[in-house]
Amino acid sequence: MRLYLDANAIVFTVEGPTHLREAVAVWLDRAEAAVNGVILTSRLSRIECLTQSLREKDSAKFEAMDRFFTGGGIEILSLDDGLVDIATDLQRDFSLRTIDALHVATAIRAKADVFLTRDGGIARYATIRTVRIERIS
């Protein structure tokens, strides 16, 4: 299984409430247990996930999030002009927000089987199986 993590799934993994952390962990375990399983995300996720801790000057939160990205076990995919072109088409055709279109384009290019997110708008692009993690306060 090729599992793509949206930034919000990563946030839940690192600092989310227990039930959301566990929901993501189930998918991470599935990907890791699968033959040729891989966990994927975009380089864009890194800035999305680190922004709040940088803004709040919360070094502990920053370090915990940074460990997720640097600890191995996840393939971080880069953005390029071709990816931006794919995202532009997705934005036009499916009314995706720019960041969501970039994530979906990255997942498409990486041949992801599952896209893990809490964002319902991404489900408009039905070619990739989207699993939505519900946010419960």
* Residues 6 or more apart whose Cβ sits within 8 Å of residue 53: 59, 61, 62, 65
Domains of the chain: 2-132 (3.40.50.1010)
Q: What is the chain's pLDDT, residue by residue, as a tens digit (137 residues)?
A: 999 999 999 999 998 899 999 999 999 999 999 999 999 999 999 999 999 889 999 899 999 999 999 988 899 999 999 999 999 999 999 888 999 999 999 999 999 999 999 988 887 776 788 888 875 43
Q: DSSP string of the chain?
A: -EEEEPHHHHHHHHHS-HHHHHHHHHHHHHHHHSTT-EEEEEHHHHHHHHHHHHHHT-HHHHHHHHHHHHSSS-EEEPP-HHHHHHHHHHHHHH---HHHHHHHHHHHHTT-SEEEES-GGGGGSTTSEEEEPPP--
Looking up tokens 């279109």 gives 101
Please provide the distance, in angstroms rounded to a whole number, between the alpha carbons at the two ends of the chain: 30
Q: Look up residue 16 and give its two tokens.
A: 């989310």
